[in-house]
Structures are given as C-alpha cells and as structure tokens.
Amino acid sequence: MAPRKLFTSMKKYSLNLSLALLILQVSCVAQQSGINSSDGAYTEDLTLVRPEYESDDSITTEVQPVPVEQKQVLAATNTVNTKVDMVLDSLDKLNQLRRYVDGFTIQIYSGPKREDALGAKAKMVKAIGDELEADIQYTQPKFRVTVGKYFTKLEAQKDLIRLKNYFSNAILIPEKILIK
C-alpha cells in the first residue's frame, strides 16, 4: 500500500475513533446528570415542578355506616344426603365383593419350551435377586414368565426399565390382580 493511501486511511480511522469517543463521553455525562446519591442510584428532585393546592378546611367528609340487613337462615329441606349415603353404601358392598382389580405385570418370557421358561426365571433371580417375584404360567401351547403385580403403569416403569437390561423382550401387559 502506498504511504499516501496509508496516511489518509489512518486519518479517517483516527477521526472516526475521536468522534466515537466524543459521543461516548457526552452520553456518559448525560446519564450521570440524574445521579445524586453515593450508591449510584438515579434520583431526581421534582419539588420545583410539583403543583401546590390550597386546603379548604370547610369541607369535611364523614362516612356514614351502611346498615346491614339481618337475614334469617332457614334449615335445608330438600337434601340428597340419604340418597348419596345409599349409593355410597352400595358401592362399598360391591367393592368388598370384588376379588380382582385391573392392573399390570411385566412379561419377560413367552414361548413353547418349559426349560427356557425355567431358565428365564433363574436368570431373573440371579440378575435382580429376591426383590421381584417371578411366576411361570402355562396356557396351552405356551409358557409365560411374569414379574411383579402393579396397579398402574407408572409403578411398573422402574422395574420394566431395569428388566429390559437383561431381557430385551420384556413388555408391560395388562392383567387382573388378586386383592388380598
């Protein structure tokens, strides 16, 4: 680059830099004009521009209490309490007769070979321990190995994730759970 071009470009750069510093300094001074306190918080004295009003002592306002009407509370005559009690009692009797409830279990094996079912149960006991109980069920023509009894899917999710590490085919299936 020629020295002359270098000199003109440096002049432009220094002029722009000087202008930027001047604008920065002016804006800082403008911002600090309202700062009066030692902690740097913005404060401004507006007492000079606040309007003043003369007080008129002749006007007095008294608040009169509003009388409250006394209402008489009547006893309820058309209640449904007896009908609701009858319905709740019948539901209670029905629930006492129920032996099973809808729930979920985890199936870790399903197939035709009994040896494979026993092997899956032994593998589960060895991997997990005695925390979960495995059941072998035979429904012709296959054996099923199920683990646990859960009332909701959310309860079963923790054990399902743990069993998936050992049994990739483990699935959550709906099942009737015996109420003891």
What are the angstrom distances between the C-alpha of 131 and each of 15, 22, 38, 128, 166? 80, 77, 67, 7, 15
CA-nearest of 109, 115, 103 to 174 is 103
**pTM listed for this prediction:** 0.49
Q: According to the CATH classification, is domain 100-178 in 3.30.70.1070?
A: yes
User: What type of residue sits at position 35?
Assistant: I
Domain chopping of the chain, boundaries:
100-178
For residue 90, the model assigns a pLDDT of 92
For residue 103, the model assigns a pLDDT of 92
Sign of CA dihedral 11, 16, 20, 22: positive
Mean pLDDT by 10 residues, the chain (180 residues): 64 74 67 56 80 72 73 75 88 87 92 91 86 87 91 91 90 88
For residue 26, the model assigns a pLDDT of 65
Cis, bond preceding 141 (omega within 30 deg of 0)? yes
